[in-house]
Every structure is written in structure tokens, then in C-alpha cells.
Amino acid sequence: MTHILMIEDDSELAQLLQMRLQKDDIEVTIALTPLEGLNFFQTNSYDLLILDLSLPQMDGIEICRLIRQESNIPIIISSARSDIRDKMRGFSSGADDFIPKPYDSEELVFRIDAIMRRIHPSIPKKSTPFELDEERHEISRDSILLHLTQAEYDIVAYMIKKERFVIAREELLLNISSIKYESSLKSIDVIMGRIRQKIGDDPKHPKYIVSVRGVGYKFVNE
């Protein structure tokens, strides 16, 4: 069973999510205030943290930063504050994912499952078209080596690791050093166009790099 700590001051929402997650054998401990959440975190063991940003007493970004200093626990920020600056502050403070409110509870379940599969290597690896070999610095599709630039390799490698997660353009700029010099978010779209061409993805009906309007992209490795 997966054990989750949820720091969320909207008790009605927290209880609804708790009931939904229980259907997938996910146990949720709810903390309605930051101090209660920090106390639960320090005295119990959890597999993942779901964190709101707009909380009484203390901002969620500060909580994220404090917890990340003590633990590598996966952190999903779940917040109505979806401004670009909040997203960037969240990721730079150690968050692993950011899901803007409102959202479908099924999406939260999927994101939790994706994180759990990534951090538990004992789960059998599925057969996928794209394979990442970080030691050799190589990415292949159907066992055929792809010829990518450094920026293209870094982007595809990052997206493979976060398969099916919605990845904002800002997140790519923040986390991939080889494209930090690119000052325009539009430049990410240009690079994605080149990557699609090299991996054989139809730009009109993409199968692997799927555009998410107004946000960014997600990678489908199947």
C-alpha cells in the first residue's frame, strides 16, 4: 500500500481525494495546516507528499523547501496558483510535479502511479519504443540509435524519465542546462519540431511528443 501525506487546507477537497485514492489502495493522511503537516512528516513515514501552496501560517513553497532539505520524498504540488512564477518556484524548491487546480482526480491517481513506478525499480520494465542509456549517452527507437544534438538528447532523456507527465516549457528551461541560453519559450517549440522529425513523429498527428495547449508537452513511450 502507498502512504501519502496531503497538506491541504480545503477539507472538503482533501476528503474527496482521500476517498478516491483509497479505491486504488492509497492511504492518505490529511493535514489542514502547514504545522500539522510538518509534524506528521517528522513523526511518520510516507511514500509521497501532495502539497497545496496557498496555506495559512506558511506558504507551500517554504514547506516544499524545508521538506526537501530533509528528505527525497516525491512532492506533487496541487494548487490553484498556476502562474508561471509559482511553477518555477515550486520546481526550483524541489517539487517533482505540479498539477494545477481544478483537475480530474483520475489524473492525480495516474501521476502518483507514474512516480511510484519510477522510484521502485523492482517493478518489471515494460517494452517501449524508446530506450535511454545514460551511461553511453544514447537514445534509441526500436533499437535504432537516434542522432541528436546535446539539447535534443537532454530534452528527450528528461521527457522519457517523466513519461506521460505534462511538462511545461518553463520546466524544461529551468532543468536542462544545455538550453538555458534560449531566452524564448518559442525556442522550445522549434527544438521539439526538430526532435519530432528525428524520431519519426508525425507533426500533424504526433504519437510520442504530444502538445498540451497552453502548457507544454508530454511524452508517450508506447
CA triple 141-165-189, angle to 5 deg: 70
Cell representation of residue 159? 521527457
pTM of the model: 0.59
Write out pLDDT tens, residues 33-84: 999 999 999 999 999 999 999 898 899 999 999 999 999 999 999 988 878 8
- Residue 94's nearest CA partner among 133, 128, 134, 51 is 51
Per-domain residue ranges of the chain: 2-119, 130-219
CATH topology of domain 130-219: Arc Repressor Mutant, subunit A (1.10.10)
Write out pLDDT tens, residues 143-186: 999 999 999 999 999 999 888 788 888 888 888 888 865 457 77
**Four-residue CA torsion sign, 72, 78, 80, 85:** positive
At the fourth CATH level, which superfamily is domain 2-119? Response regulator (3.40.50.2300)
β strands within the chain, DSSP E: 2-7, 26-31, 48-51, 75-79, 97-100, 130-133, 138-141, 144-145, 167-168, 209-212, 216-219
Give me the residue label for grid cell 517533482: 96
